[in-house]
Amino acid sequence: MFKLYNSLSRKIEEFKPIKSKKVGLYTCGPTVYDYAHIGNLRAYIFGDILKRVLDYNGYKIQHVMNITDVDDKTIKKSQEEKKPLPQVTEFFTEKFLEDLKDLNILPPDKLVRATSEISGMIEMVKVLLDKGFAYQTKEGDVYFSIAKLPDYGKLANISKQELKTNAEGRLSDADEYDKENIHDFALWRAHDSSDKDVFWESPFGKGRPGWHIECSVMSSKYLGQPFDIHAGGVDLIFPHHTNEIAQSEAANGKPLANYWIHFEHLLVDGKKMAKSAKNFFKLADITDKEFAPLAFRYLLLTTHYRSKVNFTWESLTAAQNALNNLYEQISAFEPAAVGCAEYEQNFLDAINDDLDTPKALAIVWDLVRSDYPGSAKLQSLIKFDQVLGLRIKEVWEEAKAIPESVQKLVKQRETARETKDFAKADELRKKIESNGYLVEDTETGFRLKKKYT
């Protein structure tokens, strides 16, 4: 049984898809005005784990992700850089996709740019105006009236009392705001001179959509309404997901998604990693220090997705060492047809218990240290890696595919040892090492391993 914590019910629930073996999954994607920071990447790594666990359970997944390529921040960046908006957003979209690849995050089935779906957004604003949930100001903006929706705020558990004291209409036109500032939010932003050439024509005048409406429109267009799972970082519960729910339920009279999954934050020095706090690292900052992107992935798997995690270089070093150790262990194994059933059952139970990756990793190490033959261990580890995404199979294959030049050195070293020329043998060992391989003498001969450190 696959269980997930649903933010909407605030409970761990058994996952029941709408269609028996198919799952519609929507994860909120990046706003492409800059490089992603490793806090953002935590959300995408766990979106990937969620997807891989669904796949492991035999579901066929349709995964949709948005690219927010028009908003205040993207417009500001294009003006600062004196480049057209699409040039800026395409550059950072490419960089984002490279990060996903480096972290072995499976790409979404559908990556949708907000600017390619403006007509659907205009349609939805029209419906909300027609149904009386929205109003237009004299400046031309269209706002959603939260007072019109009795259960507004149910996802974030905002009480009616809070609403009464705070919902004084429009406080600001920003897309992002905090719980102390609950207010009507923009569906359509009228063009103003600071937006320059960025606008679309609509029945309510020239302008651009608000942020929240993008995800409402794009998710239901490609996945239907309701769809199964909507996921993102915890900071999206309010206002973003709260407002998505409000718009979609008001416009279409049914729930938007059945399960709402939220990934906790990555902290630095106890504070949320954020561009605005200027306490962030990019993936390139990690790789510049010679860490593998997958060491960062490994590090994140050691903490449950609903717990905050504090990023330190020490913890990343420990993760890199653990990963190297795992790679070294597996490179000595031979393949087999049968794995270790007992460990496979425990692993499945862990991941199906609300994606318990720390437990799943503990099972990996229990298995590696167990008395099972290496061949059976390898078989199970390759299976587990469908979820973990640590490239176990590729690393093992690479370790087995030793270049001819290295094989030659190994042979020469064996001959030197046979003739008791240990100085030569040692020299050759060093040569082999500089080619990226370690040679270890064992009771029955020697073992060659790929070097990871």
Closest separation between CB of residue 155 and ligand AMP, Å? 14
183 contacts 175 by C-beta, under 8 angstroms: no
Site track for ligand AMP across 256-285, x = CB under 6 A: ---------xx-----xxx-----------
Residues 201-260 that bind ligand AMP (CB under 6 A): 232-233, 235-236
Structure tokens at 288: 């510049």
Min CB(217)–Zn ion separation in Å: 11
Q: Is 70 in the site for Zn ion (CB under 5 A)?
A: no
User: Rule CB under 5 A: is residue 246 a binding residue for Zn ion?
Assistant: no
Closest CB 102 distance from ligand AMP, rounded Å: 17
> Distance between CA 301 and CA 280 in Å, rounded?
20
Show Cβ contacts of residue 111 under 8 Å, excluding neighbours closer than 6 positions. Answer: 29, 65, 66, 67
By beta-carbon proximity to Zn ion, the closer residue of 215 and 360 is 215
215 binds Zn ion (CB under 5 A): yes
Question: How many helices (H) and strands (E) are present in the chain, helices listed first?
Answer: 16, 16
- Given a contact cutoff of 8 angstroms between Cβ atoms, the answer to whether 209 and 89 are in contact is no
Please state whether beta strands 266-268 and 309-310 pair in parallel, antiparallel, or not at all (unpaired): parallel
* Residues 337-366: x where in contact with ligand AMP by CB under 6 A, - otherwise, as a string: ------------------------------
- 26-45 residues in contact with Zn ion (CB under 5 A) are 28
Residue number, 219 or 352, with CB nearest to ligand AMP:
219
Partner in contact with 215, chosen from ligand AMP, Zn ion, none, beta carbon below 5 to 8 Å by kind: Zn ion
**Please, which residues have CB within 8 angstroms of residue 409's CB and are 6 or more apart in sequence?**
428, 431, 432, 435
Report the alpha-carbon distance of residue 99 to residue 296 in Å, rounded: 12
Using CB under 6 A as the criterion, what x/- string covers residues 16-55 for binding ligand AMP?
------------x-xx-------xx-xx------------
324: helix, strand or coil: helix
Ramachandran region, residue 177 (left: φ > 0; alpha: ψ -120 to 50; beta: rest): beta
Q: Point out which residues bind ligand AMP (CB under 6 A).
A: 28, 30-31, 39-40, 42-43, 232-233, 235-236, 265-266, 272-274
